[in-house]
Chains A and B, each alone.
Chain A
């Protein structure tokens, strides 16, 4: 990691002015948030995102909350390693979100149930114990999923500001964690529509301008030719087995469904809308947001690849003769590229917008997972429930604990694969079981408690999609590799692992439900038939 890019002749354009912009913007946006919360508290209903907002403000809020620094970092890395073929992921996300919006699949019946968390649905449909197990798995998977957030955010600051020592990265991660915890205790800003609007304007303008500047700097023909030279057709054709391949494309379409209809933050958005018609409208309009949140960062990653590939000194660092660059280094490519081509001042604005989004993302996820632990894992054990004081104390303890975990995990865990694939697999521990319970629980009367348990437990095997886990259990996985026709030293792709576990979870749900049906009529479907 100790590579001084300035010594290689690639100093950053990030200067004193940019530092002032970043610090000033963050102070301003937190102050506005605190002011609005404190002095206009009585008008919460006017301010809360997604409830009764007018169309343009609702769209700004929706897209503004989708474009975070973490999304930009993992997507840029995917563009860097996959080339133009990575665009298929953005296409899949947009198409699936549009189809969910038109059909109302999963989100409309969930909205009718008026649940606010997935484990709440588990209890309504399968009983209290399934809620506790499901909540535990959801929190475990969600916290593991955000385990690399802090590191990805620190890598952006590290790359864009031109720091070059591993020690600097550790310091940035610790400072960022301190900022996030302070920000969360100040109340955060995630739900203030006015601030989401400001974020939308800053980020959308700066992302479009940065795209245009990248094309001007590199030239479109040069970009296409370099990707062709560096990656061949695999850099364009997503079905090419030398690149992504069929299984990966299918896995991405499933991920598109997960990120818009099954992931906890998406469910909150669907369930807090005024009516089922509005849920559908939000999803149809969201499809543009889901497309752009991936597409522009993929392009930044592709542009960073072209920049590195055409520069001998950088090429030797990123693509050493001994093989591919490691995952940490490919994460750094985009911020280094942007810090080189964007003018001083503008780079401060884009960094400030990204960091504000980074804090808001952490704020909402920390609150989300700590409240799942409090409400869905701890509270159901107490007959009389928890007092609001105890709930608040527990939530705060969980927030600090999760914060410390992501600091330690980010410093210690050897990524070994693209961040997007790490997030897909760590999330799959929850969402494979979640998909099975939601789809069958909502649309199949005979789905039973035993089927739900089997489905939830089987999803744990998704953890085998993480490269370091596979390396640890390489002996156990040898027969599976032989069955798939893979050489012993090769890693089973995360997409193959994900799809096999998904199929297993679905089969177990069906078989478990048919062999061990629930006694008596299920109250959820009985209520539904009555209504």
Chain B
């Protein structure tokens, strides 16, 4: 089992997923807060 490749893929895949999730949640969260204050 090539642990170097496994962890390299695991790290970059997780970091990419988290970066995308952060962008989506930041934008979506902003609109959620806006509607929260509207309510």
Contact B29 A56 (CB under 8 A): yes
29 pairs across A/B with beta carbons < 8 Å? A46-B36, A53-B32, A54-B32, A56-B27, A56-B29, A56-B31, A57-B32, A60-B25, A60-B26, A63-B25, A85-B3, A87-B7, A90-B14, A91-B10, A193-B36, A197-B29, A200-B22, A200-B29, A204-B26, A224-B4, A228-B4, A236-B3, A237-B1, A237-B3, A288-B17, A292-B18, A295-B11, A295-B14, A296-B15
We find that the number of chain A residues with CB closer than 8 angstroms to chain B is 35
Contact partner of A288 among B1, B4, B21, CB < 8 A?
B21
- Scoring A residues 331 to 360 as 1 if CB is less than 8 Å from chain B, else 0, what string do you get? 000000000000000000000000000000
- Whether A299 is near chain B, meaning CB under 8 Å from some CB there, is yes
Q: Across the interface, do B11 and A299 meet the contact criterion of CB distance under 8 Å?
A: yes
Interface set of A (CB-CB < 8 Å, partner B): 46, 53-57, 59-60, 63, 84-85, 87, 90-91, 193-194, 197, 200-201, 204-205, 208, 211, 220, 224, 228, 233, 236-237, 288, 291-292, 295-296, 299
| Majority secondary structure of chain A interface residues (helix, strand, loop or mixed) | helix
CB contacts (< 8 Å) of A193 on chain B: these are 36
Between A201, A205, A211, A236, the greatest number of chain B beta carbons within 10 A of the residue's beta carbon is seen for A236
CA distance A449 to B14 in the complex (A): 44
- Measured between beta carbons, the chain A residues less than 8 angstroms from B29 are 56-57, 59-60, 197, 200-201
Q: Report the separation of the CA atoms of residues A55 and B14 in the bound assembly, to the nearest whole angstrom.
A: 21
Q: Separation in Å of the B12 CB from the closest CB of chain A?
A: 9
B14 near A292 with CB under 8 A, answer yes
B17 CB, min distance to chain A CBs, angstroms: 7
User: In the complex where A87-B11, A292-B18 touch, is A57 in contact with B33 (Cβ < 8 A)?
Assistant: yes
- Given the complex of chains A and B, what is the CA–CA distance between A230 and B11 in angstroms? 20
Least distance between B23 CB and chain A CB atoms (Å)? 9
B residues near A, CB below 8 A?
A: 1, 3-4, 7-8, 10-11, 14-15, 17-19, 21-22, 24-29, 31-33, 35-36, 39
Contact A208 B11 (CB under 8 A): no
Smallest CB–CB gap between A95 and chain B, Å? 12
Whole-angstrom distance between the Cβ of A159 and the nearest chain B Cβ: 24
Residues on the A chain within 8 Å of B14, using CB: 90, 291-292, 295
Chain A residue at minimal CB-CB distance from B15 = A211
Task: For the complex formed, measure the closest distance between the CB of B1 and the CB atoms of chain A, giving whole angstroms.
Answer: 8
Complex-state Cα separation, A242 to B11, whole angstroms = 23
Contact flag A56-B15 (CB < 8 Å), given A236-B3, A236-B7: no
B19, B32, B39: the one within 8 Å of A208 (CB): B19
Q: A197 — which chain B residues lie within 8 A by C-beta?
A: 29, 33
CB of B26 within 8 A of CB of A201, answer yes
Task: Report, nearest first, the 3 A-B pairs whose CB atoms are least far apart.
Answer: A56-B28, A236-B3, A57-B32
Query: Is A84 in contact with B36, judged by CB distance below 8 angstroms?
Result: no
Cα A233 to Cα B2 with chains together (Å): 10
Name the residue of chain B whose CB is nearest to the CB of A211.
B15
Cα distance A91–B36 in the bound complex, in angstroms: 35
- Of the candidates A56, A87, A228, A291, which one forms a contact with B25 in the assembled complex, judged by CB atoms under 8 Å apart? A56
Minimum CB–CB distance from A371 to chain B (whole Å) comes to 28
Which residues from chain A contact B3 at a C-beta distance below 8 Å?
Answer: 84-85, 233, 236-237
Q: How many Å lie between the Cα of A299 and that of B19 in the bound state?
A: 15
Closest Cβ–Cβ distance, residue B16 to chain A (whole Å): 10
